[in-house]
Amino acid sequence: MEEAFSLLEDWPSVPGQSTDTLKKMYKYVMALVSIVKAQKEQIKEMTTEITELKKNKKEATTSAPLDWSKIMAGEVHKDKNAVAMMATMANEMKKKAERANNVIAAIPAELCTEGGDDALVKSLTSEIGVAESRVIKTRRIRGQTTGNTANMRNTNERVLIVLEMESVDAKMAILRNAKKLRESQNKQYKKVYINEDRTPNERAADKLREERDTRNAKLKESSTINGRELKFETGNDGKKRFLGIRNGELRMVVSTIEQR
């Protein structure tokens, strides 16, 4: 194929033909070459898309579909896939309920002194104006709990402590007031971050969104729609695409710019 292209592009002179005729023939052939090259690129893209579609179809049909007739009839227990799905949802809801009143404090290791976590939490809540009594209990989930504090500083940049609050209102109060740490006179307190305690699935979703936003921010092209800058890249087919989340995966999707 490539050899044929090179032959056409080096169209030879033909004895006995006028210069004008040869020029016309050359233009026609070069136009044909351009069309063939463009079609070649389109075929390549279509082949890639078809391969992806086949892969997705295969993955979708790997597991048997849910029998909705059984589910609607109250016979969920007779469908293995429905049972598995319900169990997963129940487990996620249980984890979410367990964390409903919790926040997690990410604290520089050097702040974790021999006074213990309770003393540190008391100091932090006082700094941001939340009553210590609103904290029911604390639990460290990362960082040494015994031994030499100096060793802990060498091995852990941050210590994570779960604060179980007395209610959702108490949790929201500490989250709102956490911004006061940025204004603290204690420089170490400025490095403390307090966030909502999330389930593993929620944290995974957050990381996926962060990765999507980071990679989209690196795209070279942009357009402003309704006052908002949208980043994208233009493919060989001329369509604008950016990274989106589809079925728990990052994929290039056609930009809404194309739909305007």
Indicate the domain borders of the chain: 2-57, 63-99, 102-197, 202-259
Q: What angle do CA 130, 135, 137 make, to 5 degrees?
A: 155
Please provide the DSSP assignment of the chain as one string: -HHHHHHHHTPPP-TTS-HHHHHHHHHHHHHHHHHHHHHHHHHHHHHHHHHHHHHHHHHHHHSPPP-HHHHHTT-GGG-HHHHHHHHHHHHHHHHHHHTTTEEEEEEEGGG--TT-HHHHHHHHHHHHT--GGGEEEEEEEES-SSS-HHHHHHH-SEEEEEEEESSHHHHHHHHHHGGGGGG-SSTTGGG-EEEE---HHHHHHHHHHHHHHHHHHT-SEEEEETTEEEEEEE-TTS-EEEEEEETTEEEEEE-GGGG-
Predicted confidence at residue 79, as pLDDT, reads 65
Predicted confidence at residue 150, as pLDDT, reads 44
Q: What angle do CA 85, 90, 96 make, to 5 degrees?
A: 130
Which among 188, 107, 114, 120 is positioned nearest to 148, based on CA atoms?
Answer: 114
Contact assessment for residue 252 and residue 231, using Cβ atoms and an 8 Å cutoff: no
Predicted confidence at residue 154, as pLDDT, reads 44
Q: What angle do CA 73, 79, 82 make, to 5 degrees?
A: 90
Give the global pTM.
Answer: 0.49
Predicted confidence at residue 148, as pLDDT, reads 43
Predicted confidence at residue 53, as pLDDT, reads 73
Contact assessment for residue 255 and residue 240, using Cβ atoms and an 8 Å cutoff: yes
Residues of the chain with pLDDT under 50: 1-2, 5, 7, 145-156, 260
- Asked if CATH classification 3.40.50.150 holds for the domain at 102-197, the reply, yes or no, is no
Predicted confidence at residue 222, as pLDDT, reads 86
